[in-house]
Structure 1
């Protein structure tokens, strides 16, 4: 039974690692979205200050152009992370399913052992009569 307990600990560790990876990805997505929002506000402030909202205008603020490029890169990176997030969720679900399966096997083994122990005990009681 020790090998089954070791297997369960291993499956718990693997599930925890996958959960940490998913949380890390979700945190990065949130950070990128927050930074993109900050850049949106800075771009709007620059455009308001310059009085020019058309990015193709010759006098459009250089800082606003650079900030827009950074914002677009952040959004692209967040989209790529969302794909990784879906894969990480699937991996976590699979790891949790494997953990549940191992735990169910352990429960089944424990139940079988209790039944055997009860049968032996009952057999001894029956033989004593």
Structure 2
């Protein structure tokens, strides 16, 4: 059936799009984690160089303060991305379930079409026999 095939292709596309979104979010999360770790190292280096680790100290290094703020913003973004990832995974599961359902419907329809074809073939075979018997 043409409409079932189209439906399966649509569901497959939607599921693949959700999977791509998950991969993309994982890549962004990995990059943000790397940036956060790098900033943490830079902050530690700057604090060690200045020998001041208290951010409230009046002589705390400006670069360390800016890096700390940036790292906090990245961590907040990471938390948001993790929430988006959880939503994307739920959407992917739903899309995968829809795809499986559409595929099973298509398989069921193919089975029904095959059954109809078998019945039609039997009728074609039986019809000439019936005509021969009647003649």
Shared fold (TM-score, shorter chain, > 0.5): yes
The answer as to 2:37 corresponding to 1:34 is no
The answer as to 2:85 corresponding to 1:57 is no
**CA-CA distance at 1:59 after TM superposition:** 1.5
In structure 2, the partner of 1:45 is 45
* Separation of aligned partners in 2, 1:105 and 1:5: 10
- Larger Rg computed on CA atoms: 2
* Separation of aligned partners in 1, 2:112 and 2:2: 16
* Separation of aligned partners in 2, 1:73 and 1:66: 11
Unaligned stretches of 5+ residues in structure 1: none
In structure 1, the partner of 2:78 is 78
Unaligned stretches of 5+ residues in structure 2: 130-135
- The TM-score normalised by the length of structure 2 is 0.88
- The TM-score normalised by the length of structure 1 is 0.92
* CA RMSD between the two structures: 1.4
**CA-CA distance at 1:106 after TM superposition:** 0.4
Tell me how many residue pairs correspond in the alignment. 129
